[in-house]
Amino acid sequence: MSTRANFYDLPRAELLALAARWGFPTVHAARLWTYVYLDGVEDWSAMPELPARFRVKAEAELKFGRHDTAAETHSSDGFTRKYLLQLGDQRKIETVLMRYTGRVTACISSQAGCAMGCVFCATGQMGFIRHLSPGEIVAQAMHIDRVLRDTSPATPALAQPGSKSAHERHERLRNIVLMGMGEPLHNYDAVMTAVDILRDANGLALGAKKITLSTVGVIPGIIRMADELRPIHLAVSLHGATQEERAALVPVAKKWPLDELMEACRYYIAKQQRRIFYEWTLIEGKNDTPESAHAVGRLLKGQEAQVNLIPLNPTAGYDGEPTGREAAKRFQEILAEYDLPSTIRQRRGIDIAAGCGQLAVAKK
C-alpha cells in the first residue's frame, strides 16, 4: 500500500503549510487546490500551471484517494442514484445522489457501519466497522460532483469564453446531508475537518446552510458544535417523545437520556441562535398516534424547531410498517397546534434501498 498521504485529508491551510515545508511558494499549493476542487482535475499531468519540480514532489508525497465504484443503481423514480464505493482497505460504503425538490443533494456516510444500533436502521443492524477519515468523507462529495460534471450537459449560456472552471459550466454539488451510513458525531473530528474542506471558499465552496448533519443524539457532540459555533444545520433524531418510547427504538438513549438531550438542544439553539431540525421516523401503530404527536408537541413547544417526519422505510431486520398518508397528515396537524412546523419526507429511492436508514453493505 502506498505511504503517500491522501490529498483529500488535507484542509487548504495544511496543504499550503506542506508546500512551504517542501520549500515551495504556497501559491503553487493554492493552484493545486483549485485544480482539484474547482476544476475537478485529479491527473497530475493535467495541471500545466504547476511548475514541474513542484508537481514531481507533490505526486511523490500525495495521492488522490478517490473511491472506486463497486456498484451503481438508479431508482425507477428517476431522481435517485446510489453508489457502492470501495475504500482503500476494500471495505465498502454507500453514497446517494438525490435530484428532487429542484436541487442536487449528496447523502454522505461518516462511518462504515454504525455502533448505535437503532432497531429500524439497516446500517445499525450491520454493526460498526470503522470510522471514515476526512478524506474518505470528502471523496464521496467529489465522487458525486464528478458524476454531475460527467452527466449534466454543459450550460452554454454559462460557459463564458476563457472561463477555465468547470464550476461555471456544469451542474455542481450544492447540498450535502450527513445522513448516510454512520453517526457523524461519533466521528466528530474527521467529520468537521471534512466539512471545513468542503466549505473552503477557494474550492467546492459549499454554503454552511447547504450542509446538514444528522445525529442520533450524541450529547457531547451537540454541545461541542454549539461551543465551536459550527455554522452547518443540525438535525436530531428523536423518534420517541418519552424516555421509554425512545429507548426502545434508539438504544443509545440509555446513555444519553431524553431530558439531557433536550437540555443540550436548548443550549445549542440559544448559543447558535438557530433552529434545530428534529427527525421522526413514523412507524404505524408505534409512534404515529395522536397521543405521540401531542407528546412531541409538549416536548418541543416553544423551541425554535422543525420536525421532519419520515415514514418508515423497510429494512431486513425490522418488521414495522410505515405510517400512511392520512395518519402522517394528522400527526402534522397536531404538531401545528403547538406551533411546530413540519414536513413529511418524500419516499424516494426505496426500490434501490437508498432511502433513510436503508444503507448497508455486506460485512467482509
Task: Please give the positions annotated as active site.
Answer: 94, 356
Task: Specify the stretch interacting with ligand SF4 by CB under 6 A; choose among 50-58, 112-120, 309-317, 342-350.
Answer: 112-120
Task: Give the end-to-end CA distance of the chain in Å, rounded to a whole number.
Answer: 19
The helix (run of H) or strand (run of E) holding residue 266 is helix 258-272
Determine, following the binding rule CB under 6 A, whether residue 116 of this chain makes contact with ligand SF4.
yes
Environment class of residue 344 by beta-carbon count within 10 Å: exposed (0-12), middle (13-18) or buried (19+)?
middle
Determine, following the binding rule CB under 6 A, whether residue 183 of this chain makes contact with ligand SF4.
yes
Determine, following the binding rule CB under 6 A, whether residue 120 of this chain makes contact with ligand SAH.
yes
Determine, following the binding rule CB under 6 A, whether residue 279 of this chain makes contact with ligand SAH.
yes
Determine, following the binding rule CB under 6 A, whether residue 121 of this chain makes contact with ligand SF4.
yes
Residue 82 and residue 72 in contact, taking contact as beta carbons nearer than 8 Å: yes
Task: Specify the stretch interacting with ligand SAH by CB under 6 A; choose among 52-60, 67-75, 197-205, 307-315.
Answer: 307-315
Determine, following the binding rule CB under 6 A, whether residue 355 of this chain makes contact with ligand SF4.
no
Which residues are within 8 A (CB) of 241 and not within 5 positions of it... i.e. 6 or more apart? 258, 287, 292, 295, 296, 298, 299
Smallest gap, in angstroms, from Cβ of residue 143 to ligand SAH? 19
CA pair distance 199, 95, nearest whole angstrom: 19
Q: Give the number of other CB atoms < 10 A from CB of residue 58.
A: 22
Smallest gap, in angstroms, from Cβ of residue 14 to ligand SAH? 27
Given 114, 148, 204, 334, the residue binding ligand SF4 (CB under 6 A): 114
Binding mask 216-255 for ligand SAH (x = CB under 6 A): x--------------------x------------------
State the helix-helix crossing angle for 325-337 and 290-300, rounded to 10 degrees.
Answer: 30
Using CA atoms, how far residue 334 sits from 47, 240, 301, in Å, is 58, 16, 12
Task: Specify the stretch interacting with ligand SAH by CB under 6 A; choose among 15-23, 54-62, 210-218, 327-335.
Answer: 210-218
Determine, following the binding rule CB under 6 A, whether residue 253 of this chain makes contact with ligand SF4.
no
DSSP at 322: B
Q: Which residues pair with residue 178 across a beta bridge? A: 213
Name the residue with cell 451510513.
181
Residue count of the chain, please give it: 364
Determine, following the binding rule CB under 6 A, whether residue 216 of this chain makes contact with ligand SF4.
yes
Size of site (CB under 6 A) for ligand SAH: 17
User: What radius of gyration do the chain's Cα atoms show?
Assistant: 21
The helix (run of H) or strand (run of E) holding residue 342 is strand 342-344
Determine, following the binding rule CB under 6 A, whether residue 118 of this chain makes contact with ligand SF4.
yes
101 HSE (CA, 13 A, CB side)? 10
Determine, following the binding rule CB under 6 A, whether residue 123 of this chain makes contact with ligand SF4.
yes
Residue 179 interacting entry, from ligand SAH, ligand SF4, none, C-beta within 5 to 8 Å by type: ligand SAH
Determine, following the binding rule CB under 6 A, whether residue 9 of this chain makes contact with ligand SAH.
no
Given 40, 221, 297, 357, the residue binding ligand SAH (CB under 6 A): 357
Task: Specify the stretch interacting with ligand SAH by CB under 6 A; choose among 48-56, 92-100, 214-222, 254-262.
Answer: 214-222
Residues that bind ligand SF4 (CB under 6 A): 114, 116-118, 121, 123-124, 182-183, 216, 357
